[in-house]
A and B are shown apart, each in its own frame.
Chain A
Amino acid sequence: MTDQHPIEEQLDLFALGALEGDERREVELHLATCAACTRALAETRGVLASMALTAPPAVPAPRVKLQLLERIRKDAPAVPERQSVRPSVETRRISWWNRVWAPAAVVFAAIALFFWVSNQRLANEIEVLRKAAIEQKAQLDHFKAVSQMVLSPDTVTVNLASARPDFAGSGRVIYNARRGALMYSGSVPPLAAGKAYELWVVPKTGNPIPAGLLSVSASGEGSVVLPSIPAGVAYKAFAITLEPAGGTPAPTGPFVQAGA
């Protein structure tokens, strides 16, 4: 069977880790030499990985990040030690008094420095953890709000298509009018300096409502998450315009994407 492509069901079960014994070994052998099945398996794994997103949202404790960063810090290549300064050839005559007290003073100073540094470090760590705990709570609240919006039965998805031939790209808006909640994700052309993409809710009556400026990644992924918009607005369409950096209260630039 290693020369024959496995049937789709076998690849599905393999991706799930639910294939057993000889069947599993045969699929493994086949995958080692078949690029087409390897690609199909990658897509199946991706679909299954998407299921992980349905897990109830939870945010890890801030100390996990600190522990992880400490772990990788130990892995980081050691910074070469600075060359020690050559001692001066001139030596000073040290009195017997200095011979006794100078080392003791150095020891006391070192101990004092050690405790001061330890205290500072502890204080810094406590402050980092305190800030991280606040951030964790905010994140959890945010993702719960997102999750509630996404799972709400009255949330709609609207596809946006390119509105101009010279502006390629497309995206999706998910919108819950009752909650006044909205998110956009899509692809957009690179932004020129001094420009921004602005998202608009076009209501059934009245003027377009500004719904945030897109965050744009280097790879051209644009997004807006939960902008501040009024609740209870029945939409006619959603649109993105090209505006001066900072945005405008009403659209002035060309429409680059739109969908209804």
Chain B
Amino acid sequence: MTAAGDARSVDSDGALLERVVKRDQAAFAALYDRYSRLVYSCALRITRDEGAAEEVLQDTFYQAWRSAEKFDPGRGSLAGWLLVSARNRAISRIRRRSERDNEELDENSVALPSNVESNAAQSILLQRVTAVMEQLSEPQREAVELAYFEGMTHTEIATRTGEPLGTVKTRIRSAMGILKRALN
């Protein structure tokens, strides 16, 4: 081959999950290798503590191992579930909420806008999200990030920013509209 880069067959999430259901630890390790960086980066961004982020990472993947048979790649995204589940766990830690206060997250209840099974796909989605976030006004971005990465309710965001509750709701609504139109 003259071009750089190796062509190789890559197992899909679905194929790996089928093996994980049969308790194949190598397949589970492959899923960990594929998504641990994303999950850990998210957990670290929220908790700002390496130890806490490592625990969130490990607990999230352990939960995926235990409930592997419930995932259906045709209905939901494993990567999406890992990210939402880790985000909820991390928020529980910084907000000192019991994890039982979190809604139970169905294994097939997250539909990512695109497949992120490869590094390239993850990078392309990151570029799309970054481009959309740049379209948001600074107050819109701040409101969405406080809700997502700090786990604040709209009332708490209003208190933090000193803006009326209605203004905060409008900002989140319009920001979410822009994000959904651009990504879905």
* Neighbouring B residues of A20 by C-beta, 8 Å: 153, 155
Between-chain CB contacts (< 8 Å), 24 pairs = A9-B172, A13-B154, A17-B103, A28-B103, A43-B111, A46-B183, A47-B179, A50-B128, A50-B179, A54-B133, A56-B41, A58-B37, A58-B40, A59-B36, A59-B40, A157-B128, A197-B7, A199-B3, A210-B4, A217-B117, A221-B10, A221-B118, A226-B5, A229-B4
Residues B58 and A68 in contact, CB atoms below 8 Å apart: yes
Any chain B CB within 8 A of the CB of A93?
Answer: no
On whether A185 and B37 interact (CB within 8 A), knowing A53-B125, A228-B4, the answer reads no
Shortest Cβ gap from B109 to chain A (Å)? 5
* Neighbouring B residues of A8 by C-beta, 8 Å: 173, 176-177
Q: How many interface residues does A have (CB within 8 Å)?
A: 86
Question: Which one of B12, B23, B176 contacts A217 once the chains associate, using CB atoms below 8 Å?
Answer: B12
Alpha-carbon separation in the docked complex, A215 to B122 (Å): 14
Residues of B within 8 A of A (CB): 1-12, 14-15, 23, 25, 28-29, 32-33, 36-38, 40-42, 44-45, 50, 53-54, 57-58, 61-62, 65-66, 76-77, 79-80, 83-84, 86-88, 91, 102-103, 108-113, 115-131, 133, 144-145, 147-149, 151-155, 157, 169, 172-173, 176-177, 179-180, 183-184
On whether A17 and B88 interact (CB within 8 A), knowing A67-B58, A174-B123, the answer reads yes
The binding surface of chain A is classed by DSSP as: mixed
Alpha-carbon separation in the docked complex, A217 to B65 (Å): 22
Residues B32 and A65 in contact, CB atoms below 8 Å apart: yes
Residues B123 and A146 in contact, CB atoms below 8 Å apart: yes
* Neighbouring B residues of A75 by C-beta, 8 Å: 65-66
On whether A16 and B2 interact (CB within 8 A), knowing A57-B37, A216-B7, the answer reads no
* Binary B-proximity of A179-215 (CB < 8 A = 1, otherwise 0): 0000111000000000011110000000000111111
Any chain B CB within 8 A of the CB of A237?
Answer: no
Any chain B CB within 8 A of the CB of A163?
Answer: no
* Neighbouring B residues of A48 by C-beta, 8 Å: 84, 148, 179
Residues A212 and B110 in contact, CB atoms below 8 Å apart: no
Among B84, B112, B119, B131, the one with the most A-chain Cβ atoms within 10 Å of its Cβ is: B119
Those 8 A-B pairs whose CB atoms lie nearest each other, nearest first: A212-B5, A210-B3, A228-B4, A213-B7, A55-B45, A223-B118, A223-B120, A52-B42
Any chain B CB within 8 A of the CB of A18?
Answer: yes
Alpha-carbon separation in the docked complex, A17 to B145 (Å): 12
Residues A212 and B3 in contact, CB atoms below 8 Å apart: yes
Binding-face segment, A96-104, A115-123, A243-251: A243-251
* Neighbouring B residues of A44 by C-beta, 8 Å: 176, 180
Residues A12 and B173 in contact, CB atoms below 8 Å apart: yes
